[in-house]
Amino acid sequence: MICVNGVTKRYSSTVVVDGVSCRIQEGGITSIIGPNGAGKSTLLSMISRLLPMDSGSVTVDGLDVVSTPGRDLAKKMAILRQDNQLTVRLTVRDLVGFGRYPHNGGRPGPGDRTHIETAMAYLDLTALADKFVDELSGGQRQRAFIAMVLAQDTDYLLLDEPLNNLDMKHSVEMMRLLRRLTDDFGKTVVLVIHDINFASCYSDDIIAMCDGRLVHQGPPAEIMRSEVLKDIYEIDIRIEEIEGNRIGVYFA
């Protein structure tokens, strides 16, 4: 379980994340939604120790993210941010292989190869394994990075807008993959996502943020209601139930 206790982040006078407390249960997909500038990515960055917090604390399975050694956390939780620029030239297989670093400390063993190949196969990257990452399209690169954190083989997977750069087909495939990871391997996935309908169809739990505060948390059935969404996004969103999923219609 991830416990977030009164986490706050401010930049000079602007408060970006304002005393957020929540629990993220083990197993299942938790989506963090909210308008631009709500502090979603900042919250995820603090949970994953990429960004220091000004006050509050975060524990992952009882490990405090600030004081626990990086390598121990890296075996427990993986984080992937939105834009991943590389200055080094390396192949997809090399990149995915780095996911094994917390386990092998830079000395690959025989077990690592299986993890790497499996992760690449999961993301449909086997044909691209020997291509350089900088030669890939945005979507392919995104998948290569996700394969890396998959090879890291952690209980918790934190993804900041994993659907960025992905077309419809790959978005659906990505969400199905995340669903499979939670259903088959009992992993816990936390993602920041903009598409509320993806969040509705695939999440077990939704955390809604607005102006740096956590405004709602609950299963999709609770969050995907016009009055709740109006409260979060300040627009009218009609909710239709299609094949058991609650879909928000807001295009017109």
Q: In 86-163, at which residue ranges do the beta strands (DSSP E only) sit? A: 156-160
**From candidates 2, 147, 149, 150, binder to other proteins by CB under 8 A:** 149
Contact call for residue 169 and other proteins (CB under 8 A):
yes
Q: Which is nearer to other proteins, 154 or 182 (CB)?
A: 154
Long-range contacts of 180-187 (CB under 8 A, 24+ apart): 181/150, 181/157, 182/27, 182/28, 182/29, 186/26, 186/27, 186/155, 187/27, 187/154, 187/155, 187/156, 187/157
User: In the bound complex, what is the minimum distance in angstroms from residue 230's beta carbon to other proteins?
Assistant: 34
Residue 1: closest CA among 216, 185, 188:
188
DSSP structural state of residue 88: S
> x/- string (CB under 8 A) for other proteins, residues 172-211?
----------------------------------------
14 strand-pairing partners: 11
Main-chain dihedrals φ then ψ at residue 175, nearest 5 degrees: -65, -40
**From candidates 127, 227, 234, 251, binder to other proteins by CB under 8 A:** 127
**From candidates 40, 49, 115, 216, binder to other proteins by CB under 8 A:** 49
SS3 163: coil
**From candidates 14, 36, 67, 137, binder to other proteins by CB under 8 A:** 137
Select from 23-31, 49-57, 224-232, 235-243 the region that touches other proteins (CB under 8 A): 49-57
Q: Which two tokens stand for residue 91?
A: 């192949």
Contact call for residue 39 and other proteins (CB under 8 A):
no
Q: Interface residues for other proteins in 66-95 (CB under 8 A)? A: 69-75, 78-81, 84-90, 94
Q: Total number of residues binding other proteins (CB under 8 A)?
A: 45
Residue 102: closest CA among 129, 133, 127, 78:
78
Contact call for residue 124 and other proteins (CB under 8 A):
yes
**Max CA pair span of the chain:** 55
Helix-helix angle 138-151:110-122, to 10 degrees: 140
Q: Which is nearer to other proteins, 138 or 219 (CB)?
A: 138
Contact call for residue 102 and other proteins (CB under 8 A):
yes
Q: Which is nearer to other proteins, 31 or 68 (CB)?
A: 68
Half-sphere exposure of 232 (CA within 13 A, CB side): 26
Residue ranges binding other proteins (CB under 8 A): 48-51, 69-75, 78-81, 84-90, 94, 98-99, 101-102, 105-107, 124, 127-128, 130-131, 135, 137, 139-140, 148-149, 152, 167, 169-170
